[in-house]
Chains A and B, each alone.
Chain A
């Protein structure tokens, strides 16, 4: 009897995890931990002060800078979807190249974004350019 219920629970678990099709789970967790407090769970940012990542033209136009923004932060005046932002974003230097790639892939495939896959080589090439 016990064995059956254990088996059953295991099966349920396997089924449930099979249904969870989000391939960017790790990126999602990292995003939650390091980015969502400012850019929000739904990627919309904060009105006029923190730019959105959901549907953001900036992301498609600055693909090769994004890894650098995550690692070193930015303090600039930028336009995202026609709105000007000029608050500072702190970098997150402790993230590895892989973690940055995972976050970018999560962003590129969330909230209706369909901005393509970012490879680890691409991330490394970007980071090489802004190495500090």
Chain B
């Protein structure tokens, strides 16, 4: 009997403890003049499937969803990219939201291959950028996006990479992320994007 009392108390507490609206900033912090400030995504310069330069000016005043993949990836990328595709299509009309997928295999994923891949997938030009660039720069920025990318020839992929999808806001802060292969997590991520757009963009 007592257990039920405790249980209902717990449920009650959990129900009261619903989060306030708005997404927190998840970026790491560092100290500047004794004050803590949030890290921002550093500047970058990559090339997309249409040979356009993609840099900070592309995302100025916009939020974007980003991930790391490669075309011939046999493990987690197809499902991540399928989830990116549904995010693109869910927010197609939202011009303040872009998508950027970084190839971690710039040797094989040339601009021409990326173009073919993007067209086949149904990536909308100027909405979803498939980018390549200098390998070191891509691997370094992965770290800023909470993604791990390492070359590891012993793995079936040839790469060790985490499949996170990341929401970056118009101030270059990370606001939400999820495991891009987990459909429940992706659903929650999509509702975070909705909350974010509703609160801060629209």
Interface on A for B, CB 8 Å cutoff? 37-38, 40, 45-50, 85-88, 90
Contacts and interface: CB of A to CB of B under 8 A. Distances in A.
Contact of B120 (A38, A40, A49): A49
B174 to A, nearest CB: 26
Contacts of B72: 87-88
Interface residues of B, number: 16
A46 B71 contact: no
Given A40-B82, A87-B71, A48 B119 contact: yes
A69 to B, nearest CB: 14
Interface in B64-84: 71-72, 74-76, 78-79, 81-82
Given A46-B81, A47-B82, A37 B121 contact: no
B24 interface: no
10 contacts: A37-B76, A37-B79, A40-B79, A46-B121, A49-B71, A50-B78, A86-B116, A87-B72, A87-B117, A90-B74
Contacts of B75: 37
Contact of A46 (B76, B82, B116, B119): B82
B85 A47 contact: yes
A76 to B, nearest CB: 15
Interface of B: 71-72, 74-76, 78-79, 81-82, 85, 116-117, 119-122
Nearest to A50: B78
Contacts of A85: 120
A48 B122 contact: yes
A90 B72 CA distance: 9
CB-CB nearest 6 A-B residue pairs: A48-B120, A46-B78, A47-B121, A38-B78, A49-B120, A37-B75
B30 to A, nearest CB: 37
Given A46-B81, A48-B120, A49-B121, 14 more contacts: A37-B74, A37-B76, A38-B78, A40-B79, A46-B82, A47-B85, A47-B121, A48-B119, A48-B122, A49-B78, A49-B117, A85-B120, A87-B117, A88-B72
Contacts of A86: 116
A115 to B, nearest CB: 23
Given A87-B72, A88-B72, A40 B78 contact: yes
Nearest to B183: A41
B157 to A, nearest CB: 10
Nearest to A90: B74
Nearest to A84: B120
B84 to A, nearest CB: 11
B124 to A, nearest CB: 13
Residue of B71, B74, B76, B85 ringed by the most chain A CB atoms within 10 A: B74
A37 B119 contact: no
Residue of A37, A50, A86, A90 ringed by the most chain B CB atoms within 10 A: A37
Contacts of A88: 72
A38 B82 CA distance: 10
Contacts of A38: 74, 78
Nearest to B120: A48
